[in-house]
Structure 1
């Protein structure tokens, strides 16, 4: 078995890794362990989840890599609203595509950590909610129970504007999550995020989200660390 540790940004990503990614990769002989970013530790207690600055995930990842040298380590952080100080943010190439931007940032991320053995950086384009747009029929079916009427037509109109869910923009007013909050006021990321993702399934997410799929392909190709 190959072991893979995943440092995640929040509880929704943690739930996604446990409920969706874990069983999927277990079938491929990869055992996944998620952990929320460590924010602070004091007197034997710790606080995890969210990222106020880059120093927090950097320290946490470095610690986990040192403590568990027989496991790979990857991340699941939103590209949207990266914490201050994140490497590569200030020198993103002009007129680059979202895919070029995210690859640039992931490379800068790994470089800043001195390209440690077993580290696989991953940033979600543009945020977790993008993967929920992989199947808008399922998305609307799940959220429609808490709204007066279906918003499927609105979801289809959104998707008509973009080549795939990962390209839904990261504007503060029109990021994937903001669109969901607007259409479905009862939307709660923690409650619905992993539930809808599990309903959609990994195969559909991979088919609709190229960058996510590239990440999974890389994980599937891992060899045991010796």
Structure 2
């Protein structure tokens, strides 16, 4: 289950084919927010019934999530029990643990992206070069990558990965450029630079060992 079209396209373009070759068949499903509308994780109370339904309709399949940690709804399981000054990775692991317990199905694998989908794109700043006429605009992104790994780039309102990308490239369109840039980078490079993302893939791969 994914938040929107960007994540759906990323899975379809970057992950579906290589995993199918090893017997793992991924089907991205966008969250329903209201009748006739899809996309956006606005509240846990809306998404829980959808996950429950998926887990129950085929107990031979596994249900997992591709949700951003950034701007996660306040009613998400575990939000109220995070200690002050907890490191981001520890927060995500804490939330994933509570998420799994709240859903309560053996065929559910929780996953939150640190901090959001765009963090994966910061694996390789050179992949943005095809989408700008002046590479100088990419210098702020190169600078932050010198001191931070992609998943460590924070969740501030103006400093989250997507905010940094838009500041450097105002014409960046998440649904258009995001999956294409990810395809340019490649799955192997992304998982090498993003340990938490890599950990999720290992969980998926364990379902049908390569």
Same fold (TM over 0.5): yes
Higher strand share: 1
Contact preservation (8 Å) 1:52, 1:84: no
2:28 to 21, 24, 34: 34
Partner of 1:105: 95
Partner of 2:83: 93
Deviations 1:19-65 (A, max 9, x none): 11111211221011010011223xxxx32111221111111110111
Where do 1:106-121 residues align within 5 Å? 106-114=96-104, 116-121=105-110
**Deviation, structure 1 residue 149:** 4.5
Higher helix share: 2
Where do 1:141-160 residues align within 5 Å? 141-145=129-133, 148-160=134-146
C-alpha distance in structure 2 between counterparts of 1:213 and 1:13, whole Å: 16
Partner of 1:221: 206
Partner of 2:16: 22
C-alpha distance in structure 2 between counterparts of 1:173 and 1:153, whole Å: 17
Contact preservation (8 Å) 2:138, 2:168: no
The CA RMSD over aligned residues, in Å, is 1.4
Does residue 59 in structure 1 map to residue 49 in structure 2? Answer: yes
> How many residue pairs were aligned?
209
Bigger shift: 209-218 or 52-61?
Answer: 52-61
Contact preservation (8 Å) 1:159, 1:165: yes
Partner of 1:124: 113
Deviations 1:122-156 (A, max 9, x none): 000000000000111112x13214xx443333222
**Deviation, structure 1 residue 223:** 4.4
Contact preservation (8 Å) 1:170, 1:176: yes
Q: What stretches of structure 1 move > 6 A for 4+ residues in a row?
A: none
Closer, same or farther: CA 16–57 of 1 in aligned 2, 3 Å: same
Contact preservation (8 Å) 1:24, 1:202: no
Structure 2 counterpart SS, 1:12: helix
Contact preservation (8 Å) 2:24, 2:208: no
**Deviation, structure 1 residue 101:** 0.8
Contact preservation (8 Å) 2:30, 2:38: yes
Closer, same or farther: CA 27–150 of 1 in aligned 2, 3 Å: farther
C-alpha distance in structure 2 between counterparts of 1:92 and 1:223, whole Å: 34
Structure 2 counterpart SS, 1:197: helix
